[in-house]
Structure 1
Amino acid sequence: MRIRDLERLGVRLLTGDAEREFSAVYVTDLPDPGRYLSGGELVLSGLMWWHGEEDSAAFVAALVRSRVAALGAGQAWLGRIPEDLVRACEAAGLPLIEIPAEVSFREIVDVTVGRLAGDVREALGRHRRIVAAVAEGADLPELFALTAAELGVTGAVVSATGELIVGTAEDPVRLARAYLTAPRLPYLVEGRTVFGVGRMPRAAGWALVVDGDLTERADVGYELAACVALERRRLDEGRRVERRLLAELLAARTDLGPRLQTCGIGPGDPYAVVSAGTEPEILEQLVGRTAVAAPFAGAAVCLVAHPGDLSVRLRRGVEVLGDPALALGLSGTLTGADALRGGLEEAGHARHLAESRSGGVVTSAEIYTHALLIATAPADVRASFTRRLLGPLLDYDRRHQSELLRTLEVFLDCAGSWHLCGERMHVHVNTVRYRIRRVEELTGRDLSAMADRVDFYLALRAR
C-alpha cells in the first residue's frame, strides 16, 4: 500500500514521497521502538515521547535504523507537529504524515489492513496465474512477458558475460558489468535497477534489469527475479541429462560416434573442444546457453558444434567477467568421433599454456611451438630441469654480483653473436667471451653446440 492511498482520510504529507509503499502499520509512543520493528512499516505515534528537539532526532534515527517506510504523527497530544520533527524526517529522507486530531489511528489501521488484505489477494491471484503458465509449459520469454505485465514493469535478463537472455536491452554487456561490479543488489545504474536471479555466484548467474528506479519498490523486482529463477532452475534440470551424457562421452573409450550424436553433434558436423580452469556453470556462460559443460581431467570441458568465431566470443566473455586469471584452451575445428581425443588433448595443452601465462584464451594455433613442450611438462619436471641447468649460474651470480645468466639470455637472443650481444649489454666483446666461457665451465655445456643452446633456451623460458 502507498502513502497516497491514505490521503482520502484527511491526512497530509509533510515530507517525503507519496508513492512510498508500506507493508504493515505499527502504533507506538515508545522513544525507541526499534526492537519491535522489522522494516517497511508505517509507524503511527501520538508524540507522547516528545519533550524537545533532541527527542525528535533520536526517535527518527531509531526509525531509520529499523528501515521503516514512513512516520504518521498525530496532533491530538501536542496540537501540532513540531518543526524539529519535520526537519529531522526531511534530513533523514523519512516520509512524515500529519494526522489531524479528528482522524483516529484506528481508522487508519482499519483502512490499511483492508487494503493490505486486498494487496495480498491480488498477489495470490497473480501468483496463481504465473504458476498456471509454468504448469502449461510456458517458455522463458512467455513467462517473463507475463510476469512483467502482471507487475507493470519492463526490462531484460542478461547473463554475467553480457548475453541477452530475454527482454530488450540496448547494451547488455554494460549491464552485465554493472551487475558483476555492484557493491550490493539491487543496484541502480543509468535509470535501471539491477537484481540478481537466484543465489548462485554472480559469474555463473543472471541479472534482472528493470527499467526505472525500483529501489523503493524492491519487492516487485524480487518477485520478477524469483519467477525468472524458477524458470532457470527448470531449464537446468532439463540440462542435467545433457551434462551427464557429456561426462560419459568424455570418459568413454568406445562407441564415441553414437555418444557424440546423443550430445547433438552429427558425423559431419564441425565442432570444437573448450577446456577451462573454472566451474562448468561459468564455462557455459562463456560459451552460450545452448552448450553444456562437464568436469574432465581437472577442468571444465565443453563441446561446441559449429564453433565459428568462438575464440572471439570467449575472449569477450572473459573480458566482461573481469577475471584475467581465468585460463581457457580452444582446440581446432574437428569433425567426427575419431578427432575427439586429439581435440581434448589440444584444448588441454592450450589451457596449460594459458595457465602458464597467468590466464587468457589460447587456441590450438598457438600451441605448436616450444611453448607447448614447456607448458605440458609437469611442474616438478620443469623446476628440476631449470634448477639442474641454471642453478650453478644463479649461485655464481648471487655470490659474485655478476651477470652470467643475463649474458647467456642475451647471447642466445642474438643467435650467438658476440658483437651484437656486447652492444645490447653495453660491454666489450671480450667481456662477453669471458662470461660465456665461465657459463660453459660452470655447467659443463658447450654453447657452440646447437643441442646445448636449445637446452639453455628452454630452461630460460621454463623459469
Structure 2
Amino acid sequence: MSDLTVGDLVAMRQLGCRTIAGSGGLDRLVVWAHSCELEDPWNWLSKDELLMTTGICVPADEASQVELIRHLAGAGIAGMAVGDDLKAPPLAEAMLAEADVLDFPVLTVSHSTPFSALGRTVAVASQSEQISRIARLSRLYEVARSATLAESSLLERLSEELGYGLHVVDVEFATEVLARETRIDAGTVRELCRRVQGRLDRLPARLAIDVGDAVVATAFALPTHRKCMLVADGTSDVDLDAFGLLHAQSLIGIEVERGTRERERDDEAGMALFLQIVDGTVGSDAAQPRLEQVGIADTEWVVIGFDAAHLRAVRTVLGDNEVGNLSCLLGEEGYLLLAADSMETVTTLLAEHIPHLGISGGTATIQRLPDSVRQARWALQAARADGSAVAEYSTAAPLFLPRTLTEAHFAARAVLGELIDHDEASQSQLIETLETFLTLDRSWAATAEKLMIHRQTLAYRLKRIEAITGRSTKSSADIASFWMALVAHRISRGGRD
C-alpha cells in the first residue's frame, strides 16, 4: 500500500501543484490519480483516488460547486486537482470554504504540468497497490470460473470475495434476479424502484438507498438489456474498490444475460408445446417429459388469461420467482398454464403489473386444457367488463353476457351466425372487420389503417355486414348487439385466434 499523500504531491515543486483550499486534508493518502470530466465524478472514482480535471466537471453556480465538494469528500476521494488552463469556471468562495470545513484538498495544477505527470508519479508510488489489484482481479475471475462447478451461485461467491452481500434487482418489475438464499429486503427493493422511476432509460451509475434516516444499501447500474442494478448491502454508502467493482459488474452482467437468454429459449419452447396442447396435436405421453422439466407434471392445472401486451411482464416476474409455467399468445390475449396450487401466489405477483386476469377452472387432464383456455378467456372478459383485477370462471360474469361457454356459443350464433358462415364459405374477413371497426370506436381512418385496406373497401365490407345480418352499424341498439355477440364469439371459440 502506497504512503503517498496529497501533501507529498504539493511538496514536489516540479509538479506545479498549489493548495487553494482544504489544507487540513493534505495528509490524505493517494493510491491513484484519475482524470474525469463527467458531471458526477464521485461515481467514477474510489476512496483515496485523486480527481484530476480541467474544470469541465465543475458546475458554474455556487450552490452546485458546494454540493460537488460534499459529494467528493463523502465518497472518500483524496482531493481535487484543477488544471490552470482557464477552462474551469471561477471557483466560488463558498466552495473553497466548504473544502476548508471538510478538510478536502483542492489544488491547482500549472498549465505546464500535464496530468500524465501527476498520474505517473502516483502510479510509481502505488505499484504495490496495483499488484494487489491485479491479484484481486485474478481471484474474481477464478470465482466466476469455479462458480459454474460449485453448488453456490456466482453472487454468493462474489459476495464472499468482496465482503458485501450482493443482489441483482430488475428495477422495471421490482424482482430479484439470480436470487440468493438470503434475499434482499422488500422495502429496499421498493425504495430503489421508486428512486429510479422515470429514469429506466439511463440508470444512475451509483445510488445510495435510504430507508428512514439511514443508508441501507448502494446500487450500481449493470450493463444488461434488462433494467438491472447490482445492490450491495450496507448501513452506509458502500465503499467498493472501483477496479474490483467494474469487473464484478461485468461478470454479473454476463451471468444475467446468459440466464435471460436461456429462459427466453425455454419460454419459446414452452409456448410451442402449449399451442400444440391447445390445438390437440400433442398427447399426454408426448407432453409429459416437457411438463416434468418445467415442474408442473402430474398435478391439477389452471389457465390464466391476460392481455397479450403483458406477456413479457408475466414471463419476467414468474421466471425471477422460479414459478413453473408455460405461456403462449393467442390473438389479442396471452395464456399461462401452471399448477393449481400456485395460483394464489401467481395472482398476487402478477396483480402488481397486470390490470385484469381471468382464471379457468382446474383440470388434471391434458385433453381438457383447450376448454380451460376458453374458460380463462371467458373469465378475462368478465374481469374487463366489471373492472376486476381477477375473475374466476363460473364465479363471476361479464355484465349482460352469457355465463357458460354453451350460452356464449348460442349468443354469438344468434347475431353473427350468417356472418360467420359467410366468412368460412368465402374466406372473407367480415367478422374481423366488424370487430376492428367497433374496437376502434367506429373510426374509419383507424380501421382502414389497421386492416391495411382502402376506405372504399371498408365501406363495401360494412355494407355487406349490414346486408347479411339485417342490422345497422349506425344504430345504437344494433351496435350493442354486435358488440356483445362479438365478445361472446371470442369467448366461445377455441384454438388459435
Mapping of residues 308-319 of structure 1, within 5 Å: 308-319=341-352
Native 8 Å contact 1:245 1:263 kept in 2: no
Instruction: State the one-letter code of the partner of 1:145.
Output: E
Q: Secondary structure of the equivalent of 1:263?
A: helix
Gap regions ≥5 residues in structure 1: 27-32, 50-54, 75-81, 388-442, 446-453
The alpha carbon displacement at 1:23 in A equals 5.5
Matching residue of 1:150: 161
Native 8 Å contact 2:217 2:238 kept in 1: no
The alpha carbon displacement at 1:303 in A equals 1.8
Identical-pair percentage: 15
| Residue 284 (structure 1) aligned with residue 290 (structure 2) | no
Q: Secondary structure of the equivalent of 2:358?
A: strand
C-alpha change, 1:109 and 1:156, in structure 2 (3 Å) is closer
Q: Secondary structure of the equivalent of 2:348?
A: helix
| Residue 177 (structure 1) aligned with residue 190 (structure 2) | yes
Separation in structure 2 between the aligned mates of residue 362 and residue 313 of structure 1, nearest angstrom: 14
Deviations 1:61-93 (A, max 9, x none): 89879989453569xxxxxxx9977414368x7
The alpha carbon displacement at 1:337 in A equals 0.9
| Residue 199 (structure 1) aligned with residue 228 (structure 2) | no
Q: Secondary structure of the equivalent of 2:180?
A: strand
The alpha carbon displacement at 1:209 in A equals 4.8
Q: Secondary structure of the equivalent of 1:199?
A: coil
Of structures 1 and 2, the one with the larger relative CO (CA 8 A, separation 6+) is 2
Separation in structure 2 between the aligned mates of residue 182 and residue 21 of structure 1, nearest angstrom: 33
Separation in structure 1 between the aligned mates of residue 245 and residue 394 of structure 2, nearest angstrom: 46
Q: Secondary structure of the equivalent of 1:308?
A: helix
The alpha carbon displacement at 1:146 in A equals 1.0
Q: 296, 304, 310: which one pairs with 2:338? A: 304
Native 8 Å contact 2:25 2:105 kept in 1: yes
Native 8 Å contact 2:359 2:391 kept in 1: yes
Deviations 1:176-195 (A, max 9, x none): 32232223544313321234
Matching residue of 1:333: 362
Greater Rg over alpha carbons, structure: 1
Deviations 1:313-362 (A, max 9, x none): 4234433xxx4x53322222221211210111222232333344557233
Native 8 Å contact 2:168 2:230 kept in 1: yes
C-alpha change, 1:109 and 1:88, in structure 2 (3 Å) is same
Q: Secondary structure of the equivalent of 1:351?
A: helix
| Residue 263 (structure 1) aligned with residue 290 (structure 2) | yes
Q: Secondary structure of the equivalent of 1:314?
A: helix
Gap regions ≥5 residues in structure 2: 11-18, 83-91, 109-116, 197-202, 413-430, 442-474, 489-497
Matching residue of 1:274: 304
Separation in structure 2 between the aligned mates of residue 214 and residue 231 of structure 1, nearest angstrom: 25
Name the Cα RMSD after superposition. Answer: 5.6
Instruction: State the one-letter code of the partner of 1:117.
Output: Q
Aligned pair count reads 362
Matching residue of 1:96: 105
Separation in structure 2 between the aligned mates of residue 241 and residue 291 of structure 1, nearest angstrom: 15
| Residue 6 (structure 1) aligned with residue 18 (structure 2) | no
Q: 128, 135, 139: which one pairs with 2:141? A: 128
Instruction: State the one-letter code of the partner of 1:275.
Output: G
Matching residue of 1:208: 231
Mapping of residues 341-380 of structure 1, within 5 Å: 341-357=370-386, 360-368=389-397, 370=399, 373=402
Question: Which range moved further: 248-257 or 337-346?
Answer: 248-257
Matching residue of 1:397: none
C-alpha change, 1:302 and 1:37, in structure 2 (3 Å) is closer
Q: Secondary structure of the equivalent of 2:338?
A: strand
C-alpha change, 1:330 and 1:206, in structure 2 (3 Å) is farther
C-alpha change, 1:14 and 1:214, in structure 2 (3 Å) is same
Matching residue of 1:109: 122
Q: Secondary structure of the equivalent of 1:166?
A: coil
Separation in structure 2 between the aligned mates of residue 105 and residue 338 of structure 1, nearest angstrom: 75
| Residue 168 (structure 1) aligned with residue 199 (structure 2) | no
Taking structure 1 as the reference length, what is the TM-score of the superposition? 0.58
Separation in structure 1 between the aligned mates of residue 6 and residue 399 of structure 2, nearest angstrom: 79
Matching residue of 2:33: 24
